[in-house]
Structure 1
């Protein structure tokens, strides 16, 4: 009887151990943490929603109106002023050829969005790189949208917009760039094209004495709407490929990775390569310190990985170990980039 009792206890104990192991370590096909596959199509809806939420943190645009038939100006306080010159052109429906016959008449609306900080540039979805992925130092991005009756408009002919934008440290060597979308596989990268000429330019404005202080400005002139950047090329005479290593369940479906300079306004979104399951940047400057940041959404949880500021001198993989963060922690950590 005693021997039988011992056998029963052993069997019961073994069954209990099996049950405990099963409950704690069960592998479910529906658990998003177990998905290690990379994609060549689209990212997860959860990651898309997180990136949308980041854009929702951007400054609200400044909105006003002006008369499309005549020259005029708008002042948004003492930090932002806009002038519109008709010259021999005007405004037309976006995407259509502009002529005097179909020129827009009457009042139109204009929205200006100004981004100056690195966290704002990152949240907006821009990467500060040229058409061949050369890094750009970007002091400021200006978004210009003009519309009438919900129809977006473009400038044509000799029409021009001039904007004076307050800036704490404008530089004399800035070039005017326009944002364009470059399609590469499943990705659409918003990069920058040099459009500087006699009608499209940016320069350091004259300082203005106001209320006991000098205010410094950039002066931008353009015949374009959309997103424009005050940029110049970073030193890319000595570059290396940046490769990132993440744990297996952080993939291009649920993760984006950035290299953000800690010494200047450079924000680079890394590309991903599903065939080798890697995030990379093809030509990172070696002489500029960068902080590497990953943002991920797996299931309902947000994860963030960061490195300390460092010079990346070789293509040896940089390792990131993302940890779980709440939304407030993500916003605070991004704010510290500035």
Structure 2
């Protein structure tokens, strides 16, 4: 029954949009117009607009360096510190490291940051609330390095409310088999670490907010701290339905929770030509956000949902926006 209702909702929405002026501009048919492309892809082509969209909105990493023989405490914007012990990194087999090591850090401390980086706070289908998400890369002459098995780094950052949460876990990013350097990874998810990584309360002495977190991590690249949401509450599958030319090749969709730092990506549902996510708790207040790039033009879709029902099917009508407008909106979530 639920599947039939979803299918009927999609059919009705398709009929509704066919009878209205296309909100993305007048729909003029001519060959090679990206606005006319309504085809969904089972496998994304390498030239899909979603990759260009990622490049346009993804937060840029912060960069610093340290001497591998000495180690160092690197301090970045947003009160982020990373402690690298001396001689803690490994390169290719047979290569001895010396001199300066380049460190790049991408910090996702807000729900807007998560959306811009196209990252979801989900452990497969299980949802969790995050207090901070980071990608840390160390490299030498363009060759990415890893931590030696016997070492760790310490990642420190402040809690914006000066009231750190407790009973948190460390999560590590599970990336595609062919790991992209920074680009969009559609198969990305999080795994709770079992390698001895820990998280503790950290106090930074000085003026202003001075309480936060210290993650002791056994790995580099994607690291997050958070706790799973209650999986025993009733939940539903959420669907976002867009006009036909908003496809999985040019659009991403997210559900941003109003009462927690939780962002869930709605994955492309090829069979229904919609975007969907499982395990959305009932009666939750969320904001559905879609971002699209067609040609060189950007579109923003948004819908406030005050109460997720048993069948969460929602129609989204995106509007043309400047890139700045879109980034400002997601930062305000």
TM-score when normalising by structure 2: 0.80
Q: Which residue of 1 aligns with 2:30?
A: 28
Of 167, 173, 189, the residue aligned with 1:173 is: 167
Change (3 A) 1:294 1:69: same
Of 90, 95, 98, the residue aligned with 2:88 is: 90
**Do structure 1's residue 119 and structure 2's residue 120 form an aligned pair?**
no
Bigger mean CA deviation after superposition, 294-303 or 103-112: 103-112
- Shift, 1:71, TM fit: 5.3
- Shift, 1:61, TM fit: 0.9
- Shift, 1:80, TM fit: 3.2
Of 235, 255, 265, the residue aligned with 1:269 is: 265
Bigger mean CA deviation after superposition, 232-241 or 69-78: 69-78
Aligned residues: 297
Q: How does 1:181-196 map to 2 (within 5 A)?
A: 181=175, 188-196=186-194
CA distance in 2, matches of 1:227, 1:124: 12
Q: How does 1:120-159 map to 2 (within 5 A)?
A: 120-130=113-123, 132-159=124-151
**Do structure 1's residue 108 and structure 2's residue 101 form an aligned pair?**
yes
Note the residue ranges of structure 1 that are not aligned, 5 or more in a row. Answer: 1-23
Higher RCO structure (Cα 8 Å, ≥6 apart): 2
- Shift, 1:203, TM fit: 1.8
Of 230, 234, 237, the residue aligned with 2:229 is: 234
Q: Which residue of 1 aligns with 2:307?
A: 311
SS in 1 for 2:41: coil
Change (3 A) 1:272 1:153: same
- Shift, 1:226, TM fit: 0.5
- Shift, 1:196, TM fit: 4.6
- Shift, 1:28, TM fit: 2.7
CA distance in 1, matches of 2:165, 2:271: 42
Preserved CA contact (<8 Å) 1:244 1:319: yes
**Do structure 1's residue 294 and structure 2's residue 290 form an aligned pair?**
yes
CA-based RMSD:
2.6
SS in 1 for 2:249: coil
Note the residue ranges of structure 2 that are not aligned, 5 or more in a row. Answer: 1-25, 178-184
Which of structures 1 and 2 has the bigger CA Rg? 1
CA distance in 2, matches of 1:269, 1:239: 16
